[in-house]
Chain A
Amino acid sequence: MNGRARFAFTALAFGYAFLYLPIVLVIVYSFNESRLVTVWAGFSTKWWQALFANEAMLDAAWLSLRIALVSATAAAAIGLAAGYALARAPFFFGRTLFGSLVIAPMVMPEVVMGISMLLLFVGSEQVFGGPDRGFLTIALAHTTFSIAFVAIVVQARLADFDRSLEEAAMDLGATPWVTFRTVTLPLIAPAVGSGWLLAFTLSLDDLILTQFVAGAQSQTLPMRVYSSVRLGVDPQINVLATIIVCVAACALILSGWLTRRKV
């Protein structure tokens, strides 16, 4: 290895260490024997057992998972429609505005979204008597900001999609809906899938927006973790973080693979 290559590899190693050392430490310390989060006292899986016996934590995890599944699915469906409209609809009045509005939640501070959603839900409670703040309101809020991500992925995929494929389908007797179902959708499915996974991970670890719209009874996993850190932590947190890292990593790898795969 010559000097330049050695330098490049060293730089790379530092970069990765900076990014991933904390995460590696969390994983290692999840197998710690000690009660203290930061002191190593030998290998043990007792905190893993403790976590899986921790009802409150498991309830929070289950709630987060359900919210993530529902909001990712809703966002994928709505985002698909928005992305399709942006890429395919002929010019309509306000198209540019619509395009910006779809993307706005990506750049809007979550605090602003949180306040506006809270106002909406409080108002709706006064007028219609519902919905109760909890599962439904959190899922709705997560759906709202996830739509943008799905829409952008779908739109990008449709932009380099050969239009003559859709024309060929129509020419062969397919109605616009059948064309979408048999040609367009199968070909952009990887993009929709990767958008779904993105929405899923975003929902799973969202804290700020969730805190605005969650009710007193509903605590998602990030909320639970955050409050338990303030009360004093034990190594169960490390175990939980390890699990979350694994799930998120799997989702991101799958999402990347779906996006790259050429049909």
Chain B
Amino acid sequence: MHAGPIADSIVRIEGLTKRFGAITAVDGVDLEIRRGELFALLGGSGCGKTTLLRMLAGFEVPDGGRIVIDGQDMTGVPPHLRPVNMMFQSYALFPHMDVATNVGYGLRREGVRAPEIATRVAEALEQVKLADHAGRRPAQLSGGQRQRVALARALVKRPKLLLLDEPLAALDRKLREGTRFELVRLQEQLGLTFVMVTHDQEEAMSMATRLAVMNTGRVAQVGTPHEIYERPASRFVADFIGIANILEADGGWLALRPEKITLSANRPDAANTVAGKILDIAYEGDRSLYRIVTEGNGTMVVSTTNIDRTQPASFARGQRVWLGWSADAGHRVSE
């Protein structure tokens, strides 16, 4: 799986550090981003993900460490000379220019000739399905349309690296889901490398090839969505992504996902069992979450998929139940 990490790496981040006064926003981060992947930086607010992205773009100067993009050391390179483009969270469309002028802005700075600019702008607007809006001002567009103009403006430069700062945060829920697929489709079709910052784990998990979970300026874990979910490295990662029951086992910690546990009225035939009493039930339509006070493991969360339409919840509040899980259902995590 790991074929020559240097050969296919497009970004190498080494010991990157950034301080704002007494606060260390990014604290000695090492990362490698591979060519053609959609890499997500995931974390809560203040974890340093945006600062890291802004250092890639060149808007913040690191206090330590370095960034290498496609073999070129970026130390001291100003934003306008970097082979990267960014899609801003606010989109940052120029209000005094129409859509086509916005999209062509970067090409004019490169000194591309007018006929080629026109072709490439038309092509980029075609890609984001806005060909018939070329003459509009940003103020005349909907939020979703503005987002696509911002994307076209960044893509038209054919950057080695496209940075996306919370690309979907400003869209409403329904639009967000459709746009997720659209972004992944564009990324695969154009074969570009995307680096995306997001606080939304669902977004990161569903879109990213690999992601880095960040916490207090450091990278807590890097991996594929599957690795992050099923093999979290630490209690923090297990807790941050989805729901995790953290159990004490052999002097260490075990992260156990709620869907890996079965519920039954009688003691099941499983490697691990524990009895408990249902504290409350959260019905979510597709699944139900049970909070259960167990005898010995504290409060645990168990989820069941609601397969049968006609059947209401199989268990009632206050009912005594048995929890069972297999020997390899849990994953050992560090403190």
Contact = CB atoms under 8 A, between A and B. Distances in A.
B80 A173 contact: yes
Contacts of B93: 168
Interface string B77-121: 011110011101110111110000000011001100000000000
B92 A173 contact: no
A164 B89 CA distance: 9
B95 A178 contact: no
A169 B95 CA distance: 12
A263 interface: yes
A182 B97 CA distance: 10
Given A172-B157, A174-B109, A187 B80 contact: no
Interface size class of B (residues with CB under 8 A): 20 to 34
A189 to B, nearest CB: 9
Contact of A168 (B78, B81, B86, B110): B86
Contact of B109 (A165, A178, A186): A178
Contact of B59 (A167, A174, A187, A263): A167
A263 B139 CA distance: 10
A175 B106 CA distance: 11
A173 B111 CA distance: 10
B109 A173 contact: yes
B141 to A, nearest CB: 16
A164 B79 CA distance: 13
B276 to A, nearest CB: 51
Q: Which of B84, B106, B154 has the most CB of A within 10 A?
A: B106
A172 B88 contact: no
Given A172-B85, A174-B80, A164 B95 contact: no
A168 B57 CA distance: 10
B88 A167 contact: yes
Contacts of A172: 80, 85, 105-106, 109, 153-154, 157
Contacts of B59: 167, 170-171
Nearest to A164: B92
Contacts of A168: 86, 88, 92-94, 153
Interface size class of A (residues with CB under 8 A): 10 to 19
Interface string B223-236: 00000000000000
A170 to B, nearest CB: 4
Contact of B96 (A164, A167, A175, A186): A186
Contacts of B110: 173
A47 B14 CA distance: 83
Contacts of B105: 169, 172, 174, 182
A55 interface: no
Contacts of B85: 171-172
A167 to B, nearest CB: 6
A196 to B, nearest CB: 19
A200 to B, nearest CB: 25
A185 B89 CA distance: 23
Contacts of A183: 94
A171 B90 contact: no
Contacts of A178: 109
A173 B94 contact: no
A162 to B, nearest CB: 7
A171 B109 contact: no
Contacts of B81: 173
B80 A171 contact: yes
A182 B109 CA distance: 11
Interface in A228-263: 263
Interface string A166-202: 0111111111001000110011000000000000000
Contacts of A263: 95-96
Contacts of A164: 88-90, 92
Q: Which of A168, A170, A172, A175 has the most CB of B within 10 A?
A: A172
Q: Which of A162, A164, A165, A173 has the most CB of B within 10 A?
A: A173
B80 A162 contact: no
B98 to A, nearest CB: 13
Contacts of B84: 171
Interface of B: 57-59, 78-81, 84-86, 88-90, 92-96, 105-106, 109-110, 153-154, 157
19 contacts: A162-B90, A162-B92, A164-B89, A164-B90, A167-B59, A167-B86, A168-B93, A168-B94, A169-B94, A170-B58, A171-B79, A171-B80, A171-B84, A171-B85, A171-B86, A172-B157, A173-B80, A173-B109, A173-B110
Given A169-B105, A170-B80, A171-B59, 11 more contacts: A170-B78, A170-B79, A172-B80, A172-B105, A172-B106, A172-B109, A172-B157, A173-B81, A173-B110, A173-B157, A187-B95
Nearest 10 A-B pairs (CB), nearest first? A172-B106, A173-B109, A168-B92, A164-B92, A170-B79, A170-B80, A164-B88, A171-B86, A173-B80, A186-B96
